[in-house]
Amino acid sequence: MTIFEKIIARQIPAKIIWEDDHAIAFHDVDPQAPVHVLIV
């Protein structure tokens, strides 16, 4: 299981800011910019 699958399954905590049936968006744990969001 990848780290992204673990975040989706709530096995790893994440600051989720959006989720629907097709995508999930959460803050990066090591941001490279003031706002750094990953969309999977």
Cβ–Cβ contacts within 10 Å for residue 26, how many?
A: 19
Predicted model pTM: 0.82
Q: Would you state the structure tokens that stand for residue 37, as one six-digit string?
A: 């969001």
User: Which pLDDT value is given to residue 22?
Assistant: 97
Residues of the chain with pLDDT under 70: none
Q: What is the pLDDT of residues 19-30, one digit of tens each?
A: 999 999 999 999
Angle at 17 between CA 33 and CA 40, to 5 degrees: 75
Q: Would you state the structure tokens that stand for residue 27, as one six-digit string?
A: 């803050």
Q: Which DSSP letter does residue 12 get?
A: S
User: Which pLDDT value is given to residue 17?
Assistant: 98
User: Which pLDDT value is given to residue 4?
Assistant: 94
Contact (CB, 8 A) for 14 and 2: no
Query: Where along the chain do its domains lie?
Result: 3-39
